Structures are given as structure tokens and as C-alpha cells.
């Protein structure tokens, strides 16, 4: 098949709002540095053409391409060798944050600070400098445990068409390598390389905190907005309701509160981050800016930080994830439907169960005590009907907005 995307002569990758273009021809850079995700598929060239990337940036920022170039938000990438090259976006972010922490120390004004630092990797495309690929030789890479035909009792394909990214990417990966396992190995190696690369960047910031006067009074939280499904259920992407896609790291270092190495088992959700930080920092009072705001949701996870073995807290028994139904949907959603929480797909994870409910009413029920890979959908097993009904009730309580909310006057 032919593609409209021409084989690029320059390499491109995103840097937050900006974009790098290479000065060197693609062949001059090591292939692992700009690794093609689907090497045998022309629809996924390793690197998109400059004009395509520029037009995308232009569309996103709503600025003409010529202005982007003139404003130098698009910069050439220098690559001579791994030792002599432009920094990658995440490296720039990490170094910026480390410098900022040094700056806070020099200010000596005694004011507390909040610093949020985002990293792109291991987001697609899974590019990282070669040394991180070398840490995971292909022969040593373990791919996820996959049961053939596992997707047969799932309902994802009932609500999404085959063009949906996770379904499409898995098929493309299969087509791009001599075998599915070879494709999954290559992808997993790249994913691990990106995780190791991101881990190093986190280290740059943690080291900066530890060198600073803030070491013993700074809370560090490391988390992510989603996981990634690498192959199980013939799916390769985020945006799936299953364990690997909905699970995120949630690592907290809170001096005087957490102990090194503690692992809590109770499910929590990212909505709990804000109340947790507020409690740890002793912040009280109104959280709304004006009358349009709503009371703060979520619950502090402090009970699990002080005692990881605890299963008791003020929050719910399960964590919910919403999967946006709008992209490549088979279920015919209107523009209004896309804004309606009840028209999306939802998944609830408790300590034992995962209960998933699609917007067409189809259900999946997984018993993690017996089936950690979520291979057997028990939603139609009659003995599990009471458990399923209870999980559905818990899910609806978490999704549906409260009928009435306390009338708290907002701070002006
Ligand atoms: Ca299955």
C-alpha cells in the first residue's frame, strides 16, 4: 500500500508545544534513537515529514507554519553522536526543574513551593537514546503473558470499530514483524527503554531536591495519567478498560510520613492526589475559586502512606476509570452524548474485582484473586451475579453526580 507521507529526510519529534527538526539526514542518526514503531508498515514511517509535523503543530497551536518557524519554536535537532547531540525534551524539562529547585534555595524567602514537572516518555512514539535500548537486549526482553483468543469474551470490539488505535496498532505490529512475539519483543524493548530514560530524568530532579535545603521537608509524588496495554486482548495502546491500561504508578516520598519500600494494596484513584497533598501540607479552607466551582472530590490516601497494610480509609472501596467513547465508536454518539458521563465506558477496580460496563450495557467481570490476567469474563456466570450487582451499585454511586451539593459559600 502507498502512503501520502513521503519518506522523510529530516527527523522530527515533538517537544511539548515545540518541534525539533534534524539538521542531519535520517541515516546519520542511529536507528534506535529514532526508532520506527512499525518498521515494515509504510503507514507508520519512523519519522513524519517536516511539513506534516509543522502542519500538525500549526493546527494545534492555531498559528501559521511560517510564524512557527519565524518564532523559532521549531528548532533544528543536532545529532553528531550520543555524546554530542541536542537534548531530548524530557532531558530539557528535568534540567529546567533541577535549576528551578536551586533557584528556590537561593531565594531564601521561606515560602513553600509547588512544582509540577511533566515528562512525555514512555508516550508513543517510543524513542529514546540508544544506551537505554542497550539496557534491555532483545533476547532478555519478556513480553506480557498473553492467552490466545482472550479477547473473544470481551466487548471492546462491540463498541469500537477496527480503526480504533489500540485494535489497529496491534494488527499493524503483527504485520510489521515476522511474528507477533517478535513484534511484541521489539515494542516492549522500546517501551522499557523509554521507561528507563524517563526514570533517569526523574532522578535528576530527585537528586536536585536531595542536594537542596528542602530534602527533609519536600513531598515528592510520582504518577502518570494512564498505563499501557502491550498485546493482551489483541490490543496495543492506552484507553482500554483493563488492568494494564488503567493502572498507574503512584509513588510518594513524604518525609516523616512514608517509610521506604512500603507497598499499599488498596485501590485509589488520581482524583485522590489533590486531597492527599492538601492534607500532607496542612492546607485547609475553601477549594473553590467562585460560585461556579464544585466541592473538592477525592479522599486523602494518607492512611495508606502511614500504614501500607491498612485497608481502611474515608474513600470508596474501588477506583474508577472512564474510557472516552467518542473516538471510532460503533455506537453512534451525538455531540451531546460525548459530554454525558453516562454515555462513556467505565471500569471499577476493587481489591478483588474489576467490573467494566460499556455504554451499550455490555459487561465484563474479572476476579483478580483467581485470574490476575483478566482472562475469564465472569459477567454472565450466575454465581457471581450478587458480586456483579454490588459492583455496579458502587460504580453508579461514583459516577452519578450527587443530587444535591452542600451550599458552601465560595471564596471571592
Ligand atoms: Ca478473555
Domains of the chain with CATH codes: 1-84 (no CATH), 85-399 (3.40.720.10)
Alpha carbon of 326 to ligand 1 centroid (Å): 24
The larger pLDDT score, comparing residue 175 to residue 378, is at 378
Mean pLDDT confidence for 371-399 = 97
Q: For residue 33, name the pLDDT band (cuts at 50, 70, 90).
A: very low
Segment 384-395 shows an average pLDDT of 98
Q: What is the pTM of this model?
A: 0.83
- Mean pLDDT, residues 88-117 taken together: 91
Over residues 385-406, the mean pLDDT reads 84
Q: Is the pLDDT of residue 272 over 80?
A: yes
H or E, element range at 235 = strand 235-237
Whether residue 22 is predicted with pLDDT greater than 50 in this model: the reply is no
Q: How many A from CA of 380 to the centre of ligand 1? A: 13
CA of 366 to the centre of ligand 1 (A): 9
Expressed in angstroms and rounded, the spacing between residue 151 Cα and the centre of ligand 1 is 5
**Average pLDDT over the chain, rounded to whole?**
82
Q: Distance from the CA of 97 to the center of ligand 1, in angstroms?
A: 44
* Cα 109 to averaged position of ligand 1 atoms, centre (Å): 58
Amino acid at each position: 500500500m502507498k502512503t501520502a507521507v513521503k519518506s522523510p529526510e529530516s527527523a522530527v519529534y515533538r517537544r511539548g508545544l515545540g518541534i525539533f527538526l534534524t539538521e542531519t539526514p535520517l541515516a546519520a542518526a542511529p536507528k534506535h534513537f529514532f526508532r520506527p514503531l512499525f518498521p515494515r508498515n509504510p503507514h507508520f514511517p519512523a519519522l513524519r515529514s517536516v511539513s506534516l509535523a509543522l502542519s500538525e503543530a500549526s493546527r494545534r497551536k492555531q498559528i501559521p507554519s511560517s510564524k512557527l518557524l519565524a518564532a523559532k519554536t521549531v528548532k533544528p535537532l543536532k545529532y553528531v553522536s550520543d555524546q554530542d547531540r541536542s537534548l531530548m525534551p524530557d532531558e530539557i524539562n528535568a534540567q529546567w526543574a533541577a535549576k528551578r529547585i536551586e533557584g528556590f534555595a537561593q531565594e531564601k524567602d521561606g515560602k513553600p513551593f509547588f512544582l509540577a514537572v511533566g515528562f512525555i516518555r514512555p508516550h508513543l512514539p517510543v524513542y529514546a537514546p540508544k544506551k537505554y535500548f542497550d539496557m534491555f537486549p532483545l533476547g532478555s526482553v519478556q513480553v506480557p503473558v498473553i492467552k490466545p483468543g482472550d479477547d473473544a469474551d470481551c466487548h471492546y470490539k462491540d463498541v469500537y470499530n477496527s480503526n480504533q488505535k489500540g485494535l489497529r496498532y496491534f494488527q499493524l505490529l503483527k504485520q510489521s514483524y515476522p511474528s507477533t512475539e517478535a513484534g511484541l519483543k521489539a515494542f516492549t524493548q522500546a517501551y522499557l527503554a523509554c521507561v528507563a530514560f524517563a526514570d533517569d530524568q526523574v532522578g535528576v530532579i530527585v537528586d536536585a531536591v536531595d542536594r537542596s535545603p528542602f530534602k527533609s521537608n519536600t513531598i515528592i509524588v510520582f504518577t502518570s495519567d494512564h498505563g499501557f496495554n502491550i498485546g493482551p486482548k489483541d490490543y496495543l495502546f492506552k484507553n482500554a478498560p483493563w488492568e494494564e491500561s488503567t493502572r498507574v504508578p503512584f509513588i510518594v516520598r513524604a518525609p516523616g510520613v512514608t517509610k521506604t519500600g512500603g507497598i499499599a494494596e488498596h485501590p485509589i484513584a488520581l482524583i485522590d492526589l489533590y486531597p492527599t497533598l492538601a492534607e500532607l501540607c496542612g492546607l485547609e479552607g475553601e477549594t473553590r475559586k467562585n460560585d461556579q466551582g464544585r466541592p473538592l472530590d477525592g479522599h486523602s490516601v494518607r492512611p495508606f502512606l502511614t500504614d501500607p497494610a491498612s485497608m481502611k480509609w474515608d474513600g470508596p472501596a474501588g477506583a474508577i476509570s472512564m474510557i472516552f467513547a467518542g473516538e471510532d465508536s460503533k455506537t453512534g454518539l451525538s455531540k451531546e452524548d460525548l459530554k454525558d458521563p453516562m454515555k462513556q465506558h467505565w471500569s471499577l477496580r476493587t481489591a478483588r474485582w474489576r467490573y467494566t460496563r460499556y455504554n451499550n450495557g455490555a459487561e465484563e467481570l474479572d476476579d483478580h484473586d483467581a485470574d490476575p490476567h483478566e482472562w475469564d469474563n465472569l459477567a454472565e456466570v450466575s454465581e457471581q451475579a450478587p458480586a456483579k450487582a454490588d459492583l455496579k451499585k458502587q460504580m453508579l454511586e461514583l459516577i452519578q453526580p450527587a443530587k444535591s451539593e452542600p451550599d458552601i459559600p465560595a471564596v471571592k
